[in-house]
Amino acid sequence: MEQRRLGESGIVVSSICMGTMTFGLQTDETESCRIMDRALDAGVDFFDAAEIYPVPPSAKLAGITEEIVGRWLKRRPRESVILATKIAGPAHGWFNPPARAPKAAIDRVHLRKALEGSLRRLQTDYLDLYQVHWPDHGMRAEDTLETLDEFVREGKVRALGISNETAYGLMKSLWAADVAGFRRFDTIQNNFSLNNRRFEDELAQVCRREKVSCLPYSPIGGGVLSGKYNDGARPAGARFTDYFDKAGPRQRAMVERFVNDRSLESTRRFMEIAENAGLHPVTLAVAWSKQHDFVGSTIIGATTAEQLEPSLAAAGVVLEPAVLEAIDAVSRDIRYPMG
């Protein structure tokens, strides 16, 4: 599998990253380990977690995903895996862990508590990549960056990243780090897919010029680009089906952002392109994501080991210019201002 550098760090990773947010809720530990084993066997050496996982977050389940990954990791050489996780930050109101202040600040106190907790659950003494899950634009960037820089100097973290950030927020953090002499963010983990190309508007230029690697999440649009929600289908066990049927207004709002008339129409057209190219629609979507020059590694997800296969198949696929042109034609007709 192709290897790519994360920003200007010393870390080189597989072009596909294994996401873990279903582990411990939609996917039990046995199947989670099967998924990680299959990914590793296929050449994936980059694994991404978060302190609030599994999703949807709750105080009762928080940290279970990291614990599962930690037990799996303990059975193999630590250096065989590039390990990333995230501190929740404000979390947009999704989750407030017990024993932490509501919407815990990404300041020295909470960053240290979060890092110590993640290291303990993951059963490791260092992280390859530590990311802020949700930024807080009301805080001074230096208050977060100074402590993150200390983690790097202490050898507890190798590189730093941000997630769910804007072009302004990323540039502000990079500038603040440069002025103060702190370690910069080498990665940004944002939503980016065929159904959501908003990253290309401004953030892609920041990444290219500032040498920051994008780590796209939801490359198949939360499963929509697989076609499983076409024609009004609500497949049992699917995340958005569960959100719509059981979850609160925040999760239902997410369903409406991802599963709507425009996304379903574009998905239908992308599936036609995939069929004409002789590809599974998931393979097309993941291959398209990783083919961008600003992308470091595309994060895939699965609830079963078998579900991984079309995503893993994208590792060896380079889309032809005619296919890319057909995709762009659909995007010009149906464009998504959604995150």
CB 223 within 8 A of CB 238: yes
CA 68 to chain centre: 18
Place of tokens 């990291």: 66
Other C-beta atoms lying within 10 Å of the C-beta of residue 191: 21
Kindly state the DSSP code that residue 163 receives in the 8-state scheme: E
Give dist(CA 152, CA 148) in Å, integer: 7
As a whole number of angstroms, the distance between CA 96 and CA 165 comes to: 20
List C-alpha distances in Å: 260 to 240, 253, 282, 326: 12, 11, 19, 22
What sign for the dihedral angle of Cα 11, 14, 15, 18?
A: negative
Those residues with Cβ within 8 angstroms of residue 51's Cβ, 6 or more apart along the chain or in another chain = 62, 63, 66, 85, 86, 87, 88, 97, 114, 117, 118, 121, 133
Q: Checking phi first, is residue 24 left (phi over 0); if not, alpha (psi -120 to 50) or beta?
A: left
Which of 22, 33, 23, 112 has its CA nearest to residue 74? 33
| The one catalytic residue among 53, 130, 217, 243 | 53
**Whether 130 is catalytic:** no
* Residues with catalytic function: 53
